[in-house]
Amino acid sequence: MADLRTNFAGIKSPNPFWLASAPPTNSGAQIHKAFEAGWGGAVWKTIGAPVLNVSNRYGAWHYGRQRMLAINNVELISDRPIEVNLREIVEVKRAWPDRAVIVSAMVEAKPEAWKDIIHRIEDTGADGIELNYGCPHGMSERGMGAAVGQVPEYCEKITRWVMDVAKIPVIVKLTPNVTNIVLPARAAVAAGANGLSLINTINSIVGVDLDTLELTPSIGGKGGHGGYAGPAVKPIALNMLASLGTDEIVSKSGIPISGMGGIATWADAAQFLLLGASSLQVCTTVMHYGYRVIEDLCDGLSNWMDEKGFKTIAEVSGRSLHRVSEFKNFDLSFRAAARINAERCIKCDLCYIACNDTAHQCIDLVTPEGKVVEPSAWDPRSNGKRAAVETRLQPVVREEDCVGCRLCYNVCPVDQCIEMVELPPRRGAVTWNELSQKQTPVTEDWKAMEAYREKVGINIH
C-alpha cells in the first residue's frame, strides 16, 4: 500500500489531505470530528482582526441536478473570540499530535499586529502558520486578504515581517484574483516563506434572482462579489498551480506548494499532486457532504498510486510538470482524428450536431445500408420503436476531413465510445516557435502562410 505520509516544509501529516481554512475548520469540536474521520491536517479558520458576519452568506452554482458545482461566499474570517480559538487550537494539537494543525492568520498591515499574532499562534503548539493573502471580500475592503495578495510588494513586505519573528513554518496563501499569480508567489519566495498555498477563492457573482431581480443570495436586498470555490474552479486552480511549478524562480527555490481549489475526489487530488502540489487542501466538497469524504480521498489515492507503482506522495508530486508547455512549443504536425466505436455508440447523435453546427462538419449520418443521408430523413408517417431503432442513423467520422478538434469526444455521453486516434504525421515536426524563427514571413503574412500551406500540404476548408 502506498505511503501517504506527507512532510510539507517540516509540517508532517499522515496523509496529504488538510481541511482548508474555511467553515469546516471553524472550531475545535469540528476539527476533532474531522481528525476522527481521518483528515491528515487542518488549517484553522483564519484568526485575526475583529469581524461581524451576515446571513445569506453562501451562494452556490448548481448545474442541472448537480448541486453546488461551486460555492460562493461572503463569510469573513473567524467571528469567534480570538482567545477561544487559541485555547481550542492548544486542545486540538495536544489531542492529535500526529496531525498537522496550521493556523491561518490575517491582521491589519502593521508589523506589531503581525508580530503579536505570530507569537500567540506559536504559543498554541501549532505546526505552522498560513498567511491569508487571499480573502476577496470584506477583509480586502479593509486592506487585508486579497488587498495584500494582489500587490506583490505588500505581499513581500508583510511576509518579511512574519519571517523575522516566526519559528514555525510559514505558508503564504495566494489569491487567484490577479492577472499573473507568479508575481505574488515570487514575492513570497523572496521574503523567505517556507511554503505556498493556492488558490484562494475567485471573485464572483453567483446569479440574479429572476423573481425579485436581486442578486443571489440577497443580503437585505443587496449582494456583491463573493469568493468562488468548488469543483467548477479546479481547472483554474490547476493552471495556477502549474504556472508556479514551471516558473524558474519559484521552482528553483524548492518551496513546497499546498494545492487547493475544487478538489472533490481522489482523482482531483492526484492531478494536483502531479502538477506540483505536495499537500492538498479541501473545503467545498466537505461543506457539501461532510468530513466522511476523507475515506474515499485516501483510499482512492492510495489504490491509484498502487496501480501506478508510486510508493510515496513525493514520487507523485510534480510528475506531470514537464508536460506543461505553451502553444508555441506544440508540434503543429501532430495529428489525431476522432473514431466512433459503432458497437458502443448509442446513436444519440450529439457528436453529429456538435461537429456539424459548431466544429468542422466531418461527421456523417449513415443508414444501416451504408448510405450517407441528411438527419430527420424519415417519413412522418413512420412510427414505433422498431422503425425508429432499426433505421437509426449511425454517426461516422470522415477521417480525411477530421481536424481532430476533440469536440465530439467531449460531448459523447458514452465512456470509451469516441476515441481520439493518433495518426502518423504528414510532415516533419515543427513548432510555431521554430516556424517564426526559421520562416518568419510565414508567421506574419497571409500570402506567405498560404504558400507554406501549399508546400507542406495543409488544406483547411
Partner 1 sequence: MDLAVRDVRKALAEQLPPLTPNAAAVEADRCLFCYDAPCAHACPTHINIPQFIKKIATHNLRGSAATIFASNLLGATCARVCPVEELCEGACVLGGDHKPISIGRLQRFAMDDARAHGNYPVVKAAPTGKSIAIVGAGPAGLSCAGTLALLGHAVTIIEKRTLPGGLSTHGIIALREPVEIALEEARMIEGMGVKIKTGVEIGKDIPPAKLQKEFDAVVLGVGLARTPGLGIAGEEVVIDGLEFIEASKVAEDKLSVGRNVIVIGAGNTAVDCATIAKRLGAERVTMVYRRTDREMSCYVHEYDFARKEGIEFRFLSQPARVVLEGGRPVGLECLRVELGAPDASGRPSPTPVKGSEFTLAADQIIKAVGQNKLTLATLLGLKTTKGFIDVDASFQTNVAGIYAVGDCIRSTGVASTVMAVQDGKLAAAAIHQQLVPRSAPVEVK
Return the number of the residue (380 or 457) whose C-beta is nearest partner 1.
380
Are 19 and 26 in contact by the 8 Å Cβ rule? The answer is no
Distances (CA, A) of 360 to 137, 308, 363, 401, 402: 43, 37, 8, 8, 7
Q: Which of 179, 376, 416, 459 binds partner 1 (CB under 8 A)?
A: 376
- Closest CB 379 distance from partner 1, rounded Å: 10
Q: Please state, in angstroms and as integers, the Cα–Cα distance from residue 442 to each residue in 90, 335, 455, 460, following that order.
A: 66, 21, 12, 16
392 touches partner 1 (CB under 8 A): yes
375 binds partner 1 (CB under 8 A): yes
- Residue 338 in contact with partner 1, rule: CB under 8 A: no
Tell me how far, at minimum, the Cβ of 377 lies from partner 1, in Å.
9
Pick from 232, 372, 248: nearest CA to 321? 248
Burial 443-454 (b: 16+ CB within 10 A, else e): eeeeeebeebee
**Four-CA torsion 141, 145, 151, 152, nearest 10 degrees:** 170
Residue 418 in the binding site for partner 1 (CB under 8 A): no
How far apart CA 11 and CA 127 sit, in angstroms, is 6
- Cell of residue 332, nine digits: 503543429
Q: Which stretch binds partner 1 (CB under 8 A): 113-121, 132-140, 281-289, 346-354?
A: 346-354
Q: Which amino acid is at 419?
A: E
Segment contacting partner 1 by CB under 8 A, of 91-99, 165-173, 250-258, 378-386 = 378-386
Could you tell me if 456 and 425 are in contact, meaning their C-beta atoms sit under 8 angstroms apart?
no
Residue type, 50: P
Of residues 56 through 115, those in contact with partner 1 by CB under 8 A are 64-65
- The minimum distance between CB 221 and partner 1, in angstroms, equals 24
Least separation in angstroms between CB 336 and partner 1: 24
Instruction: Evaluate the omega torsion of the peptide bond into residue 199 and state whether it is cis, within 30 degrees of 0.
Output: yes
211 vs 369 by CB, closer to partner 1? 211
The neighbouring-strand residues paired with 47 are: 105
Comparing CB distances to partner 1, the nearer of 158 and 397 is 397
Task: Note whether 213 binds partner 1 by CB under 8 A.
Answer: no
Is residue 345 part of the annotated active site? The answer reads no
Task: Choose, by CB under 8 A, the member of 220, 221, 413, 457 that binds partner 1.
Answer: 413
3-state secondary structure 220-279: CCECCCEEEECHHHHHHHHHHHHHHHCCHHHHHHCCCEEEECCCCCHHHHHHHHHCCEEE
* Annotated catalytic residue, options 135, 351, 362, 405: 135
- Contact positions with partner 1 (CB under 8 A) in 318-337: none
CA distances from 363 to 339, 340, 360 (A): 10, 10, 8
Between CA 21 and CA 281 the distance in angstroms is 8
Residue number with CB closer to partner 1 (378 or 432): 378
Which grid coordinates belong to 70?
461551486
Q: Per CB under 8 A, does 350 bind partner 1?
A: yes
By CB under 8 A, how many residues form the interface with partner 1? Answer: 26
User: In the complex, what is the shortest distance from the CB of residue 356 to partner 1, in angstroms, rounded to a whole number?
Assistant: 9
Applying the rule CB under 8 A, the residues between 147 and 206 that interact with partner 1 are: none
Stretch that binds partner 1, among 21-29, 42-50, 272-280, 341-349 (CB under 8 A): 341-349
> Binding partner 1 by CB under 8 A: which of 29, 346, 372, 451?
346
According to CB under 8 A, which one of 180, 358, 382, 440 is a site residue for partner 1?
A: 382
The answer to whether 72 touches 59, Cβ cutoff 8 Å, is: yes
Q: Where does this chain touch partner 1 (CB under 8 A) — which range of 74-82, 91-99, 303-311, 379-387?
A: 379-387
Burial group, residue 32, by CB count within 10 angstroms (0-12, 13-18, 19+): middle
Cβ proximity to partner 1: between 248 and 390 the closer is: 390
Residue of the chain from 365, 397, 402, 442 that contacts partner 1 (CB under 8 A)? 365
CB atoms within 10 A of CB 307: 9
Closest distance of CB 352 from partner 1, Å: 6
- Least CB distance from residue 411 to partner 1, whole Å? 10
> Interface with partner 1 includes 342 (CB under 8 A)?
no
Shortest distance, position 63 Cβ to partner 1, whole Å: 9
Q: Decide: is 130 part of the binding site for partner 1 (CB under 8 A).
A: no
Write the Ramachandran bin of 51: left for phi over 0, alpha for psi from -120 to 50, otherwise beta.
beta
Catalytic residues: 135
Contact footprint for partner 1 (CB under 8 A): 64-65, 346-350, 352-353, 365, 375-376, 378, 380-385, 387-389, 391-393, 413
